[in-house]
């Protein structure tokens, strides 16, 4: 059972103190607090991030941001970001936050950016859908992107999207079940099935019952997005 009292307290603390939180495992994060990570080598796994964020400290005027990466060498693994069709952006990578990785995430329904990068980062096996703009890269930054599925036809901004082997699926519908209403599991005909690259050690962390499962489809080949196909019972 989810403990909503703890979730509420966590959100309230984040809103009041702007404390950096990292290493969150199998947790839902709701509410209006800035959810950010600034600890080197931190990992956020198996996390749902919902809501409208809150005003950050680096922007004027500041759009709400669900996750602001302010430190170096963080990994954001197997996370589902749902802006719920509000004027929000999912992930912001601030200037001087280097060596960060976004892997096997699904980012939907943000009326602002799915990802805005002021600094270089790596994005792999990630779905962008239903956002005002999927990937916005500012001048001087490079997103090394591989095996992503992006609804937009191209990135925006003056920065660089580097995909040497052209593995990114641009202008592509990931064919999720009902992403507008938060069901981002893959349909049987989704181009994301077997479309990713396996990332060693990138395991799903269940909320209930403990245990982990490799982030790959039933055939052992990696899928793109937060949920491999078919979705197994008991996962997030």
Q: Can you spell out the DSSP letters for 15-49?
A: HHH-------BS-EE-SSS-EEE-STT-EEES-EE
The overall pTM is greater than 0.85:
no
In a domain, 225, yes or no: no
Q: pLDDT-based confidence at 126, cuts 50/70/90?
A: very high
In a domain, 216, yes or no: no
In a domain, 11, yes or no: yes
26 neighbors 236 (Cβ within 8 angstroms):
yes
34 neighbors 68 (Cβ within 8 angstroms):
yes
- In the prediction, which pLDDT does 6 show? 41
Burial of 209 (0-12, 13-18, 19+ CB in 10 A): exposed
In a domain, 226, yes or no: no
Which one has a higher pLDDT value, 193 or 5? 193
Q: pLDDT-based confidence at 234, cuts 50/70/90?
A: very low
Distance CA 22, CA 29 (A): 12
Q: pLDDT-based confidence at 12, cuts 50/70/90?
A: very low
Q: What is the pLDDT of residues 42-73, one digit of tens each?
A: 566 556 565 544 333 333 445 677 888 877 88
Q: pLDDT-based confidence at 195, cuts 50/70/90?
A: very high
In a domain, 228, yes or no: no
Q: Is residue 188's pLDDT more than 70?
A: yes
- In the prediction, which pLDDT does 229 show? 80
Q: Which residue, among 76, 92, 137, 84, has the nearest Cα to 110 in the 3D structure?
A: 84
Q: How many domains does the chain have?
A: 1
- In the prediction, which pLDDT does 205 show? 45
Q: What is the pLDDT of residues 68-106, one digit of tens each?
A: 887 788 888 888 888 877 677 888 898 888 888 898 889
- In the prediction, which pLDDT does 9 show? 35
Q: Which residue, among 11, 181, 170, 173, has the nearest Cα to 82 in the 3D structure?
A: 181
- In the prediction, which pLDDT does 64 show? 74
In a domain, 182, yes or no: no
In angstroms and rounded to an integer, the radius of gyration of the C-alpha atoms of the chain is 16
- Read off the pLDDT of each residue in 139-143 and give the average, rounded to a whole number: 97
Residue 13 phi, psi dihedral angles, 5° rounding: -65, -40
Q: Which domain holds residue 12?
A: 4-172
Q: Which residue, among 33, 64, 29, has the nearest Cα to 48 in the 3D structure?
A: 29
In a domain, 10, yes or no: yes
In a domain, 179, yes or no: no
- In the prediction, which pLDDT does 29 show? 44
């Amino acid at each position: 059972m989810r403990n909503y009292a703890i979730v509420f307290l966590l959100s309230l603390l984040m809103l009041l103190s702007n404390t950096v939180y990292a290493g969150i495992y199998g947790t839902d994060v709701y509410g209006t607090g800035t959810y950010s990570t600034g600890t080197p080598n931190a990992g956020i796994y198996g996390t749902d991030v919902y809501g409208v964020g809150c005003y950050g400290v680096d922007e004027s005027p500041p759009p709400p941001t669900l996750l602001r990466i302010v430190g170096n060498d963080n990994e954001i693994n197997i996370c589902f970001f749902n802006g719920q069709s509000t004027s929000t952006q999912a992930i912001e990578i601030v200037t001087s936050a280097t060596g960060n990785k976004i892997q096997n995430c699904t980012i939907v329904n943000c009326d602002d950016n799915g990802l805005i990068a002021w600094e270089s980062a790596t994005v792999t096996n990630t779905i962008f859908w239903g956002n005002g703009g999927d990937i916005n890269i500012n001048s001087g930054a490079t997103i090394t992107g591989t095996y992503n599925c992006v609804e937009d036809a191209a990135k925006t901004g003056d920065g660089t999207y580097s995909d040497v082997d052209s593995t990114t699926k641009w202008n592509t519908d990931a064919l999720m079940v009902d992403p507008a209403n938060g069901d981002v599991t893959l349909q049987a005909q989704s181009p994301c099935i077997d479309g990713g690259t396996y990332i060693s050690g990138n395991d799903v962390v269940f909320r209930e019952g403990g245990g982990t499962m490799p982030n790959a489809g039933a055939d052992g080949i990696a899928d793109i997005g937060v949920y491999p196909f078919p979705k197994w019972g008991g996962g997030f």
